[in-house]
Amino acid sequence: MTAYKAHEAGELDLQERTILTESNRCFGSGLLNVFDPGIAPTVHDLLLMMIVVSDNLATDVIVDRLTPGVSRRPCTTWDLRGYG
């Protein structure tokens, strides 16, 4: 939800592509870890992978792409103390 709100605010382009490399690989669930390095999914693609198949690599890339202020905004907005 934070990523889509960032898109609405003009802070995130859903068509922006990210080239995935070996350094993006991570432990956990998902499919992107098994693809060859060099694929370039869009932010929209990564969000779909994150939501539909709970892809940890996609989640890491999206969280890294959002600025700390953007990623903490819901914690502040919803008064989630200790999470932001």
Length of the chain: 84
User: What are the CA-CA distances from residue 8 to residues 17, 18, 20, 70 (Å)?
Assistant: 18, 20, 25, 12
Predicted local confidence at residue 43, as pLDDT: 97
pTM of the predicted model as reported, rounded to 2 decimal places: 0.78
| Distance from C-alpha of 29 to C-alpha of 54, rounded to nearest angstrom | 7
Q: Mean pLDDT in runs of 10 for the chain (84 residues)?
A: 89 96 93 96 97 95 79 53 54
Contact 15, 43 (CB under 8 A): yes
Query: Which of 13, 66, 22, 68 lies closest to 42 in space, CA to CA?
Result: 13
